[in-house]
Structure 1
Amino acid sequence: MIKVLHNNSCSKSRAILEHLDENNVPFEIIDIIANPLTEAELKVVLKKLQKTAFEIIRKNDALFKNNFAQQERTDEEWLQILLENPSLMERPILIKGEVAMIGRPIENVKFFMD
């Protein structure tokens, strides 16, 4: 089963859920806004993505641009920023076993559907 880290206000995240549903792919939704990840959970996701916290921050987001864009931070500080501001996280993130990916573009999701 695919786990989808989801933000319902994100059209791309909603589109992935629709795509999975239309293709009868079983999935579990984890709403990262209503139920933010713990530090341990986020670290596991980052390891599966093989990315740093900074690499999964939405750099075009107004919150990032207004509050963080010109700042140098450590990996741990970026991790804390994501924990405090889950809306800054790239989404959707799909997790299947020990592998994860950012679910954009939608064509890349086919990897998880097999």
Structure 2
Amino acid sequence: MKKIYHLSSCNTCQRIIKELQPLDGFTLQDIKAEPITTAQLEEMRALTDSYESLFSRRAVLYRERGLGNKNLSEDDYKNLILEQYTFLKRPVLVNGEEIFIGNSKKVVSAAKEAIFS
């Protein structure tokens, strides 16, 4: 599977997608318009070490709900991501058996290398 989970209203996601062009064979999924399913989240989780690695602590709701003060379990991370799209760290790029999570320069560079090699 070759897929990018992103938010179309996110300038950073759009910049990264533009940077990764051409994205031959990739499907783009706007997670606000088409929420991720449990099966999709479990597929992402299978490619990484935890649901926590897919979780965004930058989400406004993270601060509003005071989640930083709570001891969250893997199930909590999973349920929060499924409940609200903003809790998914973006973008998430799945390239076969590889996954690239987030927008750091290191992650984007690694994704670029994997796509174009």
Q: Same fold (TM over 0.5)?
A: yes
Query: Across the two proteins, how many residue pairs are aligned to each other?
Result: 111
Structure 1 residues without counterparts, runs of 5 or longer? none
Structure 2 residues without counterparts, runs of 5 or longer? none
> Equivalent of 1:62, from 60, 63, 82?
60
- Please report the TM-score for the alignment, with normalisation by the length of structure 2: 0.82
For the aligned residues, what is the CA RMSD? 1.7
Question: Contact 1:6–1:93 at 8 Å: present in 2 too?
Answer: yes
Question: Contact 1:7–1:33 at 8 Å: present in 2 too?
Answer: yes
Whole-angstrom distance in 2 between the partners of 1:61 and 1:36 = 16
Percent identity for Structure 1 against Structure 2: 23
| Structure 1 residue ranges, 4+ long, deviating more than 6 angstroms after superposition | none
Residue identity in the other structure for 1:96: N
Residue identity in the other structure for 1:9: S
Who is 1:2 aligned against? 2
Whole-angstrom distance in 2 between the partners of 1:94 and 1:40 = 16
Question: Contact 1:103–1:109 at 8 Å: present in 2 too?
Answer: no
Q: Secondary structure at the match of 1:69?
A: helix
Residue identity in the other structure for 1:13: C
